[in-house]
Homo-oligomer: A and B are copies of this chain.
């Protein structure tokens, strides 16, 4: 495990909401973070799909990690946008965030969320946002 990955695991482990949902940081390197989540019955909305709020949580968190990998540990999400592409269902969600550009204080990140449903893997949302170094 790289130093960055150890740091990432520590940060994710210290987020009660991420622990509560069961998020896992499965890849983490300079400019890229992948966070996965097993889909649980309590994550759904009224039509049996994963609630958009779960998907948007994943985007928010994945872009913060990606941004933090280039800006440093003390970062916050300034803002982000999500476009839902199709209903999310299956066993697992995987959010992959990348840094598209960064200065010393701000990083622009994108994220893609796929739902793994048996053998199928479908893109269910894309996001884009800004991460800032604190202070």
Contact = CB atoms under 8 A, between A and B. Distances in A.
Interface residues of A, number: 50
Contacts of A82: 56, 79-81
19 contacts: A15-B45, A16-B45, A17-B53, A17-B54, A51-B57, A51-B60, A53-B60, A56-B60, A79-B83, A79-B108, A80-B82, A81-B82, A83-B129, A100-B123, A105-B105, A106-B132, A110-B110, A110-B126, A130-B130
Interface string A8-50: 0001001111111000000000000000000001111110001
A76 interface: yes
Contact of A85 (B41, B53, B85, B108): B108
